[in-house]
Chain A
Amino acid sequence: MAYNFKEVARKPERFTGGHRMCAGCGAPVVIRQILRALKPEDHAVISAATGCLEVSTFLYPYSAWKDSFIHSAFENAAATISGAEAAYNGMRRRGKLDQEGETKFIAFGGDGGTYDIGIQALSGAMERGHDMVYVCYDNGAYMNTGIQRSSATPMFADTTTSPVGRESQGKNQRKKDLTEIMVNHHIPYVAQTAAIGNLKDLYEKAEKAIYTKGPAFLNVLAPCPRGWRYEASDLMQINKLAVDTCFWPLYEVVEGKYTVNYKPKNKLPVVEFLKAQGRFRHLFKKGNEELLDMIQKEVDRRWERLLSLEASN
């Protein structure tokens, strides 16, 4: 069935308003749209890593989640949901669950809980082949604790633990490529996506991830107005710039086969994405042209590599 934004948006909300995520935060937009990809008759068990999403959506005694939800700790959203999925299999086999529809298992973690402290639990769960989806909402730093750098923080970003100073131009290391790490787990479905336009790319990938048997991984860009320093109203523009500059390519890998889902007709220079954010402001000082050039080269190198992976399918 062709994607129809209006119809999708009219589906009953499974992630309700009243949560306390910031205005202009990318994460709740991503979560709502992903949960819309669930069939109405299906139930979900959702786990979340400790982070902004968890502490802002489930403050005792309130929950924004219509489905079943569990948070246990920071580094183990994947392990926790893998236990729930195993219980589902075990209990169904024994005829203990006599319910209509299916139950789907989805874990959400930020980049800190996924690229860094949670990578071991994630890798283990993916390798074991649980029927689950892990969604990383990547905002490129530990935003919940106050914008500390993570391995997902882009090079030269100003964070509270990679601050710009007389001897520092921000984070001095490259961003880890987690999507590729997950591709190399040889699981059935891996995709990188973002909330752009009518959210079609995000919806379709969520649907494939949820309804592909076995483990699936989604890496979703989720800008943070506090950490990236942009106006709340600019969220969708920031997402679009990340994709149009090829800083955050939209692609998927199905059973090892690469498809780049969006190739901008006019690939914008990465400075268009960088200058929209306060965390890169220092790069636009006179004398730092070389740093901007380094970032552009890195974006180009990764984009070209992705295109060649697609071409060599």
Chain B
Amino acid sequence: MAIRERLSGNEAVAYAMKQINPDVVAAFPITPSTEIPQYFSAYVANGEVNTEFIPVESEHSAMSACIGAQAAGGRAMTATSANGLALMWEMLYIASGARLPIVMACVNRALSGPINIHNDHSDSMGARDSGWIQLYSESSQEAYDNMLMAHRIAEHPDVLLPVMVCQDGFITSHAIENIELLEDEKVKEFVGEYKPAHYLLNKENPIAIGPLDHFTHYFEHKRQQAEAMRNAKKVILEVADEFYKLTGRKYGYFEEYKTDDAEVCIVVLNSTAGTAKFVVDKMREEGKKVGLVKPRVFRPFPAPEIAGALARFKAVAVMDKADSFNAAGGPLFTEITSAVLAHGATGPKFINYIYGLGGRDVKADDIEFIYNKLLEIAAPGKVDSIYNYIGVRE
């Protein structure tokens, strides 16, 4: 029987890490992810795990130590937020380039400057092209589940890529919610042992990692990395299927909520999807045909699948909790609209709303406003503004 508990997102992630019991955890304090290494070091102090915990002097060294540990043959994990992720930037690319299946908990927080400790997605969105698989989580339950699935995806021989499990800082990381946990033994069996084919500590077959790679080979290596990301699409679904059989909780590339007969749809990541579901329910009672699509997998980007899912709506609003500062639209919006165009879905009209930067509250009213805007466009009306902001004084 599953264990019923009440945990915050950070506790849920730390608990997953305890059950996974990796060989090495290297982390540095930063709000709001810092509770994760705090909980974890208590597990170490109490002998509940036998992991080597490295209290590094920076996030750059956290990722560097994870790279050293994973290359050595161990399972390595870390957690960070915002500027911590930014300080790791250089090493994120090296971790994925070296094909090291490290797993990171990213507790989303706004990037400086100006400094702000609250939630938006500017940190992980900035890292979207670093070669990491990115899984997003609406609740502490999803953060926990994604953590349990992360190693299986990362370590698959056709993938061998690092995974970042994202959840919203404070909103999810610090709010206590009901959660269903798996028994330790079930987690152990599901996650399995890490058995790399090649690793530094194998004395019988020493290896070298991280060469100078000229134009004679670099491109082939990057092409292989791109292929691994394509392979990840299949593996993510296979692992989700196995997880469903174990828990009854179903995961795919994205979740659709009340989309069957919907005319208009909002696409939004993480905790805001929870608020949007509340609004969908309310507006459905009023007879309005509104629905929601919540992407879980942002890297690899499920382009044909999401384009296919959105093709049937009359109007779609993509909500971005990060701005691209490109004078064109947020990262989720530009990614979705290019997928839609490339895959020939010409039906829906698309608009973009940037919301919630630096932790600005997004209220049910804001989301209802966007749905009403979409219904207006679907009427049919015309799109008067593609790239918009909501909840900001301007």
Residues of A that sit less than 8 Å from B by CB:
43, 45, 47, 54-55, 58-61, 63, 65-73, 75-76, 79-91, 93-94, 96-97, 99-101, 103, 120-121, 123-125, 127-128
Interfacial chain B residues near A61, Cβ < 8 Å? 211, 217
B203 pairs with A103, CB closer than 8 A: yes
A68-B200 contact given A58-B210, A86-B26, CB 8 Å threshold: yes
A80 pairs with B67, CB closer than 8 A: yes
B73 pairs with A87, CB closer than 8 A: yes
Task: Mark out the residues of chain B between 50 and 100 whose CB falls within 8 Å of any chain A CB in the assembled complex.
Answer: 50-52, 54-58, 60-61, 64-74, 76, 90-91, 94, 98
Q: In whole Å, how far is A99's beta carbon from the nearest beta carbon of chain B?
A: 5
Contact for A86 among B52, B90, B200, B209, CB less than 8 A = B52
Question: Which 7 pairs of residues, A with B, have the shortest CB-CB distance?
Answer: A83-B68, A124-B57, A87-B74, A83-B65, A79-B64, A79-B61, A71-B210
Residues of B that sit less than 8 Å from A by CB:
23-24, 26, 50-52, 54-58, 60-61, 64-74, 76, 90-91, 94, 98, 200-204, 206-214, 216-217
Q: In whole Å, how far is B58's beta carbon from the nearest beta carbon of chain A?
A: 6
Interfacial chain B residues near A100, Cβ < 8 Å? 203
Q: In whole Å, how far is B267's beta carbon from the nearest beta carbon of chain A?
A: 36
A83 pairs with B90, CB closer than 8 A: no
Interfacial chain A residues near B55, Cβ < 8 Å? 128
A83-B213 contact given A65-B208, A72-B98, A101-B203, CB 8 Å threshold: no
Q: In whole Å, how far is B240's beta carbon from the nearest beta carbon of chain A?
A: 29
CA distance A118 to B169 in the complex (A): 31
CA distance A75 to B203 in the complex (A): 27
Interfacial chain A residues near B73, Cβ < 8 Å? 87, 91, 96-97
B72 pairs with A47, CB closer than 8 A: no
B58 pairs with A120, CB closer than 8 A: yes
Contact for A72 among B56, B57, B68, B216, CB less than 8 A = B68
Q: In whole Å, how far is B71's beta carbon from the nearest beta carbon of chain A?
A: 5
Interfacial chain A residues near B201, Cβ < 8 Å? 45, 68, 84, 87-88, 91, 97, 99, 103
B76 pairs with A87, CB closer than 8 A: yes
Q: In whole Å, how far is A313's beta carbon from the nearest beta carbon of chain B?
A: 30
B74 pairs with A59, CB closer than 8 A: no
Q: In whole Å, how far is A299's beta carbon from the nearest beta carbon of chain B?
A: 33
CA distance A72 to B65 in the complex (A): 10
Between-chain CB contacts (< 8 Å), 8 pairs: A58-B212, A66-B206, A80-B67, A83-B65, A87-B73, A90-B50, A99-B204, A120-B58
B61 pairs with A60, CB closer than 8 A: no
CA distance A68 to B212 in the complex (A): 16
Interfacial chain B residues near A70, Cβ < 8 Å? 67-68, 71, 200, 208-210
Q: In whole Å, how far is B363's beta carbon from the nearest beta carbon of chain A?
A: 43
Chain A residue at smallest Cβ distance from B205: A68
Q: In whole Å, how far is B167's beta carbon from the nearest beta carbon of chain A?
A: 25
Interfacial chain B residues near A55, Cβ < 8 Å? 212
Contact for B206 among A68, A82, A94, A97, CB less than 8 A = A68
Contact for B212 among A54, A82, A90, A120, CB less than 8 A = A54
